[in-house]
A and B are shown apart, each in its own frame.
Chain A
Amino acid sequence: MNYSKPMLLAVCVGLVAVPTSGSIRAEEAADLFECGECHVLRIRDFKSRRANPIVAVEEYPEEPTGTQDIASTSGMCLSCHDGFVEDSRDIWKDGHNGHPVGMRPSERVVLPELDGAPEFPLNEDGKLYCGTCHSAHLNESEGAPEKVNLFMRASSAGGQICQACHQDKANIADSVHDKGSRRSKDFEARGTCGYCHAPHASDKPLMWARGQGEGNIGVNRFCRDCHDDAPHPGEHPSNVVAWSQQVRASNRSRSPAEMPVFDEQGHAARVGQIGCPTCHNLHRERAAERPEHLQGLFLRMPELVQPLCADCHGRETIFLYKFFHSPASRK
């Protein structure tokens, strides 16, 4: 039987497009069909020792740790996504503020496993790459509009693909900050995380997908895109820098959990400025651990033991906070 190349590719993809049913895996499908369009080492000219290719192609190990072979390297992705076939050039260009690739996952990231293998594989150097989130053999968007078919390893709905690794951000689902619209035509705006973060379509730090409001420092302006008319206690002066918990932990033995400070770009810094997220963590409401009047404020500290504020403002700041900042005390 003769298959056209598009048909073969479609069948190839189609066979593995239903991973939840435990059907044929990518490598099994590749054995059945001609898949040399990406799996370059399946081409006889490169595979045979007697062949004489114009360029030698390095063989990448396909290891049980989940690292992928040469067919799913970033270079292979670019070979089509360079504008001549598909166009994803924004992802490769300098200054791209999308999801990091080419780096090892941070300590806060937990890579889940599926059937004993990494569900989101790293490349041969143990670093993030295109294939960590995408696979040409997967099509999770069945029934979704064609334009949102992005061959993702997990669904973006409910922040699933993000929270699979970023489990410390998982509590945002179904919270007041879970504003993603399932009906949006814009893929990046769909799902729990896509309302604020665009993994590939952002030109701002933190993959920020929205506009910015007024504020002293960048990270505050992100918050104030929505909280522009909410009552604020006022911004902390931007010329004051403070220690991160990383520094404070060495001389504040009773310090509570992290109260991050930020650099100009909005990233957590060792020494930096105090912003809205210093006290608030919208990714994790610890409401159940708090008195009723503190619930819904997304405060980081489970209790006011010796917060960052006390470093400069003294221990009485705890009482000041309680009587002046707490909504309950102002009633």
Chain B
Amino acid sequence: MICKQRSNRQAFAVALGVFGCAGLIPADVALAQDIPTATHNTRMTLGTSLSLPSDVGVGKDGKIYIVDGGNHQLAVFDAFGARIGTLGEQGSEEAQFESPVGLGISRKGEVYVADKGNHRLQMFSADGRYLQEIALEENGKKVSPVDVAVSADGKELYVSANNSHRILVFSSDGDLLRGWGGEGEEPGMFRYPATIGLDPDGNVLVVDVLNQRVQKFDSEGQLLLSFGELGGKPGTFFRPKGIAVDSVGRSYVSDSYLGAIQVFNDSGEFLYVLGAGGQTTVFSTPVGLAADGPRLLVVQMLAGNVLALDIEPPMGPQP
């Protein structure tokens, strides 16, 4: 996406670029100032013993749940960043996990975990009690869930199916209601759908990893828009993984290889990247994201922690 309004910073950068072409300033140095950035402060860092965490969510009373995938469990923190518990362990019995990846939290604070290796969702109450499992199948084939998002009314569960490249919608009772997608690069198809975000209107945003894009659907699966492509300039992706949608519909998308987190408006137009002074912040393998009011939670897989960031968008008009 190209910003329609050129900021003063951009104009300055273009001017620098002109001088740069004349040999006064290296062109790449001049152009590097052109990307709008949102500054961020790290309010707290969660986790010191996490092993390859992959996703994060905020539950009732500000509890923070982190999928601690390498340890096959869920790490639970309070709103102030103190670890208060652990859910699960490795295995295939009740409340046990095998290579979990994503999670979703209902407005009541119920926690659903995409238990990928066990081909199921597992559900916990807001106070950490095991409630039920939902075995995932479509047409008799087991589903390997990567992520789950819970509708606002808590009645529908949106699941990204890694092995069939589809989005499946299950009722909270575990019945398969509908699904869409399949392997491909055409609009509406996926090559490894990963994390799912729901916007304030209930639309479903899916990170389509190897198509290097985000696709936005209505709750019935009608494609509304798509943004991103393979690339390195603002608005493009290399390995998009995590998505979080805030209360005004802005989408934060992480790129696990490049380490960048880009922000888009509800029309899919690029707004800015997290960084400072025109320089992108490179996070350590950023994957799952969660928007919690003014905060953004960022899972850093290789660093084995989660950052809670306060974001300050850049000044000036935005698309």
Contacts and interface: CB of A to CB of B under 8 A. Distances in A.
B258 A37 contact: no
B256 A82 contact: yes
B258 A82 contact: no
A83 B69 contact: yes
A79 B257 contact: yes
Chain A contact surface mostly:
loop
Contact of A84 (B34, B146, B258): B146
Interface string A62-87: 00000000000001101110111101
Q: Chain B: interface residue count, which band?
A: 35 or more
A150 interface: no
A84 B192 contact: yes
Contacts of B236: 45
A49 B27 contact: yes
Most buried by A among B34, B239, B262: B239
Given A4-B185, A43-B230, A82 B280 contact: no
30 contacts: A5-B185, A36-B230, A37-B230, A40-B238, A43-B238, A45-B233, A49-B27, A51-B28, A52-B234, A54-B35, A54-B273, A55-B232, A55-B259, A55-B282, A78-B256, A78-B302, A79-B238, A83-B52, A83-B101, A84-B101, A84-B192, A84-B209, A84-B287, A85-B194, A85-B209, A87-B116, A89-B69, A89-B70, A92-B70, A93-B71
A113 B31 CA distance: 44
Contacts of B273: 54
A51 B233 contact: yes
A82 B99 CA distance: 10
| Minimum-distance CB pairs A-B, first 5 | A45-B232, A93-B70, A53-B232, A79-B257, A52-B31
Interface string B231-257: 111101011010000000000000011
Contacts of A76: 257
A89 B68 CA distance: 11
B146 A83 contact: yes
A94 interface: yes
Contacts of A36: 230
A57 interface: yes
Interface in A215-271: none
B73 to A, nearest CB: 12
A94 B287 contact: no
A46 interface: yes
B260 interface: yes
Contacts of A83: 52, 54, 69, 99, 101, 116, 146
Contacts of B309: none
Given A76-B257, A83-B146, A94 B70 contact: yes
A108 interface: no
Instruction: Classify chain A: how many residues form its interface, as a range.
Output: 20 to 34
Given A36-B230, A53-B232, A57-B232, 10 more contacts: A4-B185, A45-B231, A52-B233, A54-B280, A55-B232, A55-B282, A84-B194, A84-B256, A85-B209, A89-B52
A6 interface: yes
Interface string B171-201: 0000000000001110000011011000000
Given A84-B146, A84-B192, A54 B234 contact: yes
A50 interface: yes
A3 B34 CA distance: 34
B258 to A, nearest CB: 4
A82 B232 contact: no
Contact of B262 (A50, A54, A75): A54
Contacts of B194: 84-85
Given A84-B146, A85-B192, A51 B232 contact: yes
B232 A93 contact: no
Interface string A30-63: 0000001100100111100111111101000000
Contact of A82 (B35, B183, B238, B287): B287
B239 A79 contact: yes
A90 B210 CA distance: 22
A301 to B, nearest CB: 44
Nearest to B235: A54
Contacts of A44: 231
Interface string A1-42: 000111000000000000000000000000000001100100
Contacts of B302: 78, 92
A50 B192 contact: no
